[in-house]
Amino acid sequence: MWLHRAVLVPRLAYAVLIRWPRAELTGARAALEKLRGQVLRGATGAYRTTPSKALGILVKVESFHLSIIGMAAKAAHRLNAYGQWTQGTRHTRLPGGVDLLPEFSIKTDMMIPRYFFGRRYGVVIPTREEWKARSNSLPGTGDVWYTDGSRAETDTGSGYFCQRDGRGIFFSLGRYATVFQTEIYAILTCAQRNIELGARDRIITICSDSQAALRALRAHRTTSRLVWEYKEVVNNNKVRLLWVPGHTGIRVNEIADRLAALGAKHPPIGLESYTGAARCLLTGEIRDWVEREHTREWQGTQGCRQAKALMGQDTNVGWTNCIAGCSRNNSRLLTQIVTGHNRLRYHSLKIGKEAMGICRRCEGAEETPTHVLTVCPKFAQLRHQCLGELFPTYEEIRALEAGAVLTFWRRAGLPA
């Protein structure tokens, strides 16, 4: 599927913010769905008769009109974060489902890229070997502070601790902050605290175990409002940022880690979000919306009886990964088994290649993948050996690894 991602998706994304309303038209949807079917059948080796909706849910490739709306939403919210977006004409009014996501009503951390030269604060990232050799001397003299950020199941927090006098504090940052933002926020608030204390004539060392945060603060190019705020706040002060290896038994750093964890366990005070919504949060919410719409579309699809019986109401991640990573023959065979469009008698009868659709072994029902995998008495012993059950249910079939299904199919001598 790399060709789909590398060639087709960029072509669909061209001028998507202007052209997306076209994807809502019935005729355009039909044309896009036809194109998706051709791509998926070519990638999986499926029969020409295989429905594109079944293939889409199997390999987790959403309808192209949903992809287009998702890409348009990402572009719109990026421009909105830059202050370059005004709702007005039709193409600026995205569908309500994606436009009303709660994450888009909060302020954002994104900004137009800006460049910061003449940095006066220092950033030191020693190697682990240097830390082992100079663990006592690296922090240097003066006030040494340790900062950390943390994320629990739902909320996030930051904290900092002063080694000299044992001062420490933690903050709850709510559910929208990323781990990177919690690390930056801890460094920023620690620097602001030192300025409030009037520590202008002393050398301040702020230690952090996040190399990503320190590299962002050292870089000239900035796309985060939080990072830019730090650069403006501390540039006229004697501040040195120092990387410290995390979770290696450095006592004061472990204290900062526990403070950040406490912040993540407490509810935030006031409105969220202190840090602003990161771009990855917004794009993640759009991606989740596209996946939900794709699943809802599949659940409302008429037909696809065989595929719905074996796949259920959502994507089977294990089977999807198998199709993406296994050989061409295995990918083709698994696709044909799951969708029901294969060389078994029932489907061959429907396309005019067989005179009858009755099971060639038991002669008691239609020869379909669901019949062979679950109830055909002639395959009961082999099912027990390969699949673990004599007469497995559809739910038990969905829980199987793709390799077990393929092994059973080949040992049964069924058409491949």
d(CA 260, CA 186): 9
For residue 349, give both structure tokens.
């009868």
The pLDDT, as a whole number, for residue 106 is 78
Domains of the chain: 2-108+281-299 (no CATH), 112-275 (3.30.420.10), 342-416 (no CATH)
Counts of helices then strands in the chain (DSSP H, E): 21, 8
Q: How confident is the model at residue 273 (pLDDT cuts 50, 70, 90)?
A: low
More confident residue, 342 or 139: 342
Determine the average pLDDT of the residues in 402-406.
97
d(CA 295, CA 62): 9
User: At which residue do the structure tokens 């730090």 appear?
Assistant: 230
For residue 324, give both structure tokens.
């993406």
Closest alpha carbon to 146 in 225, 275, 69, 254 = 254
pLDDT at 47 over 80: yes
Determine the average pLDDT of the residues in 264-287.
83
For residue 336, give both structure tokens.
């044909």
State pLDDT tens for residues 87-123. 776 777 777 677 667 767 778 899 999 999 988 899 9
Residues 6+ apart with CB under 8 A from 200: 237, 238
Helix (H, G, I), strand (E, B), or coil: what is residue 398? Answer: helix
Determine the average pLDDT of the residues in 157-163.
94
The pLDDT, as a whole number, for residue 100 is 64
Determine the average pLDDT of the residues in 178-185.
95
For residue 89, give both structure tokens.
């004409």
Beta strand segments in 175-217, E: 204-208
The pLDDT, as a whole number, for residue 143 is 87
The pLDDT, as a whole number, for residue 272 is 61
State pLDDT tens for residues 199-233. 666 778 999 999 999 999 999 999 999 999 999 98
Helix (H, G, I), strand (E, B), or coil: what is residue 73? Answer: helix
Helix (H, G, I), strand (E, B), or coil: what is residue 194? Answer: helix
- How is 239-271 classified by DSSP, letter by letter? EEEEE--TTSS-HHHHHHHHHHHHHHHSPPSSS
Query: Is the separation of the CB atoms in 176 and 281 below 8 Å?
Result: yes
State pLDDT tens for residues 303-316. 899 999 999 988 89
Cα(first)–Cα(last) distance of the chain, in Å?
A: 22
pLDDT at 237 over 90: no
| Ramachandran assignment for 316, one of left (phi > 0), alpha (psi -120 to 50 degrees), beta (any other) | beta
The size of the chain, in residues, is 416
Q: Count other Cβ atoms within 10 Å, centred on residue 63.
A: 21
